[in-house]
A and B are shown apart, each in its own frame.
Chain A
Amino acid sequence: MARHNLEKQLSILDFALSSLWRHRMKSLSVLLVFAAVIFLLASFQMVTQALSDKAKQVLAHTPEITLQKMSAGRQESIPLAYGEQLAGIFGIRRVVPRIWGYYFDEVRLANYTVMGLEVNEMPEGGRLGATLAKGVMPGPADEAQGRVVVGQSIKKTMDLAGRTTFSLFRPDLSLKPFEISGEFSPDTDILTNDLIVMNVADARDLFGIPAGLVTDLCVYVANPKEIETIAKKISEALPSVRVLTRSQIQKTYQVVFGWRSGFGSICLLAALAAFVILAWDKASGLSPEERREIAILKVLGWETSDILAVRSRESVIVSGLACIVGMTAAYIHVVYFDAALFRPVLMGWSVLRPDLHLLPRLAAGDILLILAFTVIPYLAATVIPAWRSATVPADSALGG
C-alpha cells in the first residue's frame, strides 16, 4: 500500500513537471517574478545581517563606558578633571581622554571623522593594532606629533598617490601637517573608512580645543558584569554627563541598521504584494485548453484531489526553484557585487561610502522568514485558483 501511494505521488509529481513544461511561458514568467522578489528580500536580509555582524565585530574595540558633557541638550567639551572625580568609584580600571570630531574638507567636499586617542593609555590599546592593514597606531603626544592612521578612503579621496603626508586647516586657517603612519584594514571599513586617528594633543591642536578639555572620556572597567552598575554610579556622581555603555552604542547601531532594513523591507513588501496579485491572476486565469485538459483527466478517472495535487506540486516546484534562483542570485549580488542595489540605503550618510566586502550570513531563521514572506503567500494565492481549476466539471470534455 505504501509503495502504491509512493508510485502515485511520483506519477503526480512527474505529471506536474511535464505540465509546467507544457505551459512553460506562463511558468517561466511567474518563476522569474517570484525569483526576483526572493532575490530582493534575501539580498536585503543578507546585507543587513552582514552589516550588523561587521558593526558588532568592530564595536568590540570600543570602551566599556563613554562620558560626554551635555549642556542645554547639546554635547560640549568635557573637562579632564571630571575623570579625577571618578577616582572614588570602585571597579573603574582607567579613564582615558578622547577627542572625536568631524572635519569638512571643502576642497574635496568630503567629511572626515577625526579621533584623537591616547592608545598607550587604553587598557586594550595594543589590540587596536589588529585593526590595521599596515603601520602602527600613533604614540603619545611627545613621541608621535602629527602621525595619523587613516581609513581606506582617505588616501584615495585626498589623492595622495605615493605621498604619506597631507595637511588640514586649523580653525584659524593655518595649516597643520600630518604624516600617515598606518592604514586601517578594509575589514573595518564600516567604521573606519572615513576615519583619521591621531593622538589627543594633535586633535586638540587641529580643532582648537583648549587644554584640559576633550570631547569624551572613555571609562574602562575591571569586571564587564559591573558595567551597568558603574555607569549608574557615574551618572549619580556627574549629573550633567551623558553616560553611554558599549551595549547601548551597539544597540544604537543595530537600531540604525534595523530601521534602514525595515524601511527597505516595507518597500519590498509592496513588490511582494504585487507579485501575490500576479500569482493569483496567473493561477486563476485558466485558458480554454487548460480547462479542457482538466476535464479530460477527470473523465479518464482522475479525482479532484489528484488534480489539486498536481496544481500544488506545480506551485511547490515553482516556489522551490524561485527560492534557489533568488537566494543564489542574492548571494552573488552581495558577495561579488557588494550589494550594489542596496548600498545607498544601508550605508548611511557618509560622503565617503565604505568600500565594504560583505560576507553574507543567512541563518536558518532568516531563510524561514524569507520563505514565510514569499512562499506561503504564493501558495496561499494559488491554492484557491488551484481548487477552482480542479473542480472544472468532467462533462465539459464531452460534446453537446
Chain B
Amino acid sequence: MLIELSQVSKVYNQGRANEVRALSGIDLTVEQGSMVCLKGPSGSGKSTLLAIIGCIFPPTSGRAVIAERQLARLPDRFLTLHRRETIGFIFQRFNILPELTVLENIALPLLPLGVTPKERKLRAHELLERFGISHRAQFPAGQISGGELQRVAIARALINNQPIILADEPTAHLDTNLSREFMAIMQQLKAAGKTIVIASHDPLVFEHPAIDRTVTILDGRIHVP
C-alpha cells in the first residue's frame, strides 16, 4: 500500500476555546497505481485529509503511513522533504503564480532542490511538450487560458516525478469540457503508474470510469452508505 491511514483524527487548536475536530477515526488505504476520489460537501474534512496524505501536517492521533514513512514520527522539516519527493499537488484554482512565466511556475518545486537552471528548463520543456503548451513557455501565467492553466498545474505536480498526485477540487472552477479533459489526463497518469487521490464533489470526477474507488467524507468521518 502506498497510502495507509488507520484511526486517523485531526483536531485544530486542541485544548483551546476554538478547538475544531476536523477528522475522526479515518481508516483508508490506497494501492499504488489506483485513483481514489474523496467526496463530500464543503467543510466535510476532505482538504484536511488531503493535507495529511500530502504530508503537510501529521494527524493528531492515529497512524498515517505515506510511501513507507510514518508521518507522526517525522519532524516538520522531514515532512517537507518527504512531501517534496513523494507528493505532487494540484490545487483548487490551480494556485499558479500569475506574474511568473509558465516555465517558471512549472519549475518552482525544483528551485530549493539545487537543480541547475539548464536541467530545470529541460524537465519543464518535456512536460510542456507532453501537455501541448510548449508555445506558452515564456508567457506570464496570468495571461493564459483556463485549459492551459490546468495543464500547467498538472505539469508542475509532475516536475519532480513524484509517485503520488493529490488534487484538491481541481474542477471546481472549470467548465464541463475542461473538467473532462482534466480527468482524461489523470487517466493517462494513472495508466503511467501514478497513484492519484482527488478531493471533489463534482459528479464528473467521482463518476468518472477511471476512478477505482470513491470515499465519502461527512462531518470528518468516512460515511458508509
Contacts and interface: CB of A to CB of B under 8 A. Distances in A.
Are A and B physically bound partners? yes
Interface of A: 4-8, 11-12, 14-15, 18, 21-22, 292-293, 296-304, 306, 393-395, 397-400
10 contacts: A7-B115, A7-B116, A8-B114, A18-B100, A293-B97, A306-B111, A395-B47, A398-B91, A399-B47, A400-B47
A394 B58 CA distance: 13
B169 interface: yes
Contacts of A394: 51, 56-57
B151 interface: no
Interface residues on chain B, size class: 35 or more
Contact of B51 (A6, A296, A304, A395): A395
Contacts of B117: 11, 14
Interface stretch (B23-31, B76-84, B128-136, B175-183): B76-84
B214 interface: no
A15 B84 CA distance: 18
A148 B50 CA distance: 94
Contacts of A18: 99-100, 104
A296 B112 contact: no
Interface of B: 42-43, 47-48, 50-51, 54, 56-57, 76-77, 80-81, 83-84, 89, 91-92, 95, 97, 99-100, 104, 108-117, 156, 160, 168-169, 172, 199
B168 A303 contact: no
A393 B51 CA distance: 11
Contact of A398 (B51, B81, B113, B160): B51
B114 A303 contact: no
A296 B169 contact: no
A12 B111 contact: yes
A395 B57 contact: yes
B7 to A, nearest CB: 21
Nearest to B112: A306
Given A301-B83, A303-B80, A400-B42, A4 B114 contact: yes
A400 B89 CA distance: 16
A8 B172 contact: no
A291 to B, nearest CB: 12
